[in-house]
Structure formats: structure tokens, C-alpha cells
Structure 1
Amino acid sequence: MSVELMVWDEPAPISRDQARATYLAVKRAQPVTTAGDDVPDVVKELPGEVRLYPDRHVLVSMDLDSMDEVSAQVFTIARAHGLVCYDPQRDLVHNVAPLGVYEGMQLHTGDGMIVHDPDLGLVHDVLGTLSPQNPFAALVNFGRHFLQVSPVPAGHELEYKEGTMVRAVVEGVEEVRQVFHDYATGDRSFLTRHEWTPQ
């Protein structure tokens, strides 16, 4: 079984609905054949099976077994070229901006996705996908601090580590999104808004 990602240029960040609609429209088109100088540089760098579609939309196919590794490479290459990347398997769009304040921050999910320098919209959307198939999401700044969330019967368990590990439970996903947004943008007010207990 193969899975795919789509990479293309957008002048501004787009929503998942817009990305999905673009992907479905491109899937109805026929790939284009190009040679030499007509091939975008990004096509030459992308791993997996790469097909070019009209308006320089690029589909990257990969084996399910290599999805996590190849996807991480595609996300990084797309960002380096200033391109949007849509993941139809997870129904997530990776925009170029806006980013958090920590250069090199990583987003990790329980279903195997790793994204370097994730945009804030992606972080927001990922938090809505928490489930038994995706049991956690974390923002990690290696060597400094991290924030992780997992669903629990009482709501969502947050774990924050900066020296010592502390834990808090919050009810709704909107508050989880606010905590992650605050953390990613350098706002530490989430530490006083909730009751944290040492782990």
C-alpha cells in the first residue's frame, strides 16, 4: 500500500479545507511531463516516487512502511523551498508560517509524525486529532524544555518539563490548544493558569 503527500506554492497560509480541495482537484488532473530546466528544483530533491501536475503541484508517493521517515524529509524539503505540504492521510496542512519563537522546535505525534519548526496552524490542527490512534502530541525543544498532552478520562493530561516535570489536567481541547500556543510563542502564562503537580 502506498500513501502520498502533495507539495505546492501558496502566497499565504491556507486551511485544511482549502488544502484538501486543492489536493482533490489535482488528483483529477493528469500528471505533466517535463524535462531539464522545466523541472522545479524541489522535484529533484524530494524522496519517493514524485509526479508533477499542472501549476507545479507535486505528488510524492511512498510505501506505508517508510511513511514516517519519508514524510519527515518531505516536510523539511517543502519548508526549505517555502512550499505548502498537505498530508491527505492525516488531513493536515503544513504551512510555511506563522512559526513559534523557538528555532528548531519539533512536533511529535503518537501516530509517528515528526515535524521540524511546525507552523502554529499545524499544531492547532494536530491537537484536534488526539485519539487511541494518535495518543499524544508534544512540542520539544531539545536540551531546554518540552510540553506534551495525552487524552485521559478526566480530559487531557499536560506534562511540562523545564528542569523538573510537572503535570496538570485540563478539560477541553480548546484550552489544550491555548496552552500549546502560549508555549510555542514563548508565553508562560499557562503555568499560572493551571494547577501543576510535580511528577
Structure 2
Amino acid sequence: MSVELMVWDEPEPITRDQARAVYLAVKKSEPVGGVLPEIVKELPGQVTVYPGHVLVGMDLESMDEMSAQVFTIAREHGLVCYDPQRDLVHNVAPLGVYQGMQLHTGDGMIVHDPDLGLVRDVLATMSPQNPFVALVNFGHHFLQVSPGYELEYKEQALQRALLTDLADVQRAFQEYATGERAFLTRHEWTPI
């Protein structure tokens, strides 16, 4: 089984719905030959070029590792990357305040310096197949959540808060990523 990612230029951040529409429209068009964009030389996997878009195919076994490479290369080139398997769009901005912050998911996705829209959207994908989402600033602190909205935060000591609403979880992750700490006083935390 193979999976794919699509990479292209967008002047502004786009939504998952917009990215999905672009992906579906491009898939109906014909690939191009001839002169290939420079990015093609850097991308891993099976690359197919469409007008203004690059499709990267890979096998399921290498998906996590190769996807991380594609996300990084796309970001370095200022390009959007759409993951149709997860229905997630990786925009270039806006980013959090912690350079090198990583987004980890229970289904194996790792993204360095994720955009804030991606973080929000990934939180809505928690399920038995994706049992946690974490934002990690290695050596400093992290925030993670599991289904049932059990939020864990560690800076010096690990503490837990139970939230009841996805929107509250998304707000806490947004605050964490942007360096705000209101989520620490807004919720009741217990040491673990």
C-alpha cells in the first residue's frame, strides 16, 4: 500500500478544506514532464510533478520517516504540504514561540516547528488509532493530551488536569505553543 503528500506554494495559510480541494483538483489533472522544480531533487520517495504541485508517494512502512523529511523540506522552501491520509495541512506559519518545538502524535507523526493551525487540527484527530498528541520542547517542558482530554504538563514536575471540551484543549495547546501560561491557572492541576 502506498500513501502520498502534496506540496505547493500558497501565499497565505490555508484550511484543511482548501488544501483537500486543491489536492483533489490536482489529482484530476495530468502530470507534467520536462523541466522539474529544484525541490524535486531534495524530496524522498516517488515524485510526480503536476503544474505548480509536487506529489510525493511512499510506502506505508516508511511513511512516518519520509513524511517528516517532506514536511521539513517543504517548510525550508516556504511551501504548503497536504497529507490526504490524515487530512491535515502543514502551513508555513504561524508558528509557536519555541524554535525546535516538536509535535508528536500517537499514530507516528512527528513535525518540527509545527504551525499553530496544524496543532489545532491534529488535536481533533485523537482516537484509538491516534491515542495522544504532544508538544515537546526537549530539555525544557512538554504538554500532552490523550482521549478523554487528560492533559499532562511537565516543566519541573509532572501534573495533570482533566478537561471536558476539545476547544479547551485546543486553547491550552495554543497558549502553550505561543508562550502564554493562562492554561496553568485556568485549570485545576494535580501532581502525578
TM over 0.5: yes
How far did 1:183 drift? 0.2
Q: Is 2:37 the partner of 1:44? A: no
Specify which of 99, 102, 107 is matched with residue 111 of structure 1. Answer: 107
How far did 1:11 drift? 0.3
In 2, distance between residues paired with 1:42 and 1:17?
A: 25
Output one character per residue of 1:142-164: Cα deviation in whole Å (capped at 9) or x when no partner. 00000000013xxx100000011
* 1:160-179 correspondence to structure 2 within 5 Å: 160-179=153-172
In 1, distance between residues paired with 2:16 and 2:187?
A: 30
In 1, distance between residues paired with 2:37 and 2:28?
A: 21
Task: Give the partner amino acid of 2:67.
Answer: S
Structure 1 unaligned blocks of 5 or more:
none
Specify which of 78, 89, 93 is matched with residue 93 of structure 1. Answer: 89
How far did 1:114 drift? 0.2
Give the number of equivalent residue pairs: 192
TM-score by length of 2: 0.99
How far did 1:82 drift? 0.2
1:187 corresponds to: 180
Q: Is 2:95 the partner of 1:102? A: no
2:78 corresponds to: 82
* 1:112-151 correspondence to structure 2 within 5 Å: 112-151=108-147
Give the aligned CA root-mean-square deviation in angstroms. 0.5
In 2, distance between residues paired with 1:162 and 1:179?
A: 15
2:17 corresponds to: 17
1:71 corresponds to: 67
2:189 corresponds to: 196
Identity of aligned residues (%): 76
In 1, distance between residues paired with 2:130 and 2:38?
A: 34
Output one character per residue of 1:24-46: Cα deviation in whole Å (capped at 9) or x when no partner. 00000111002xxx321111100
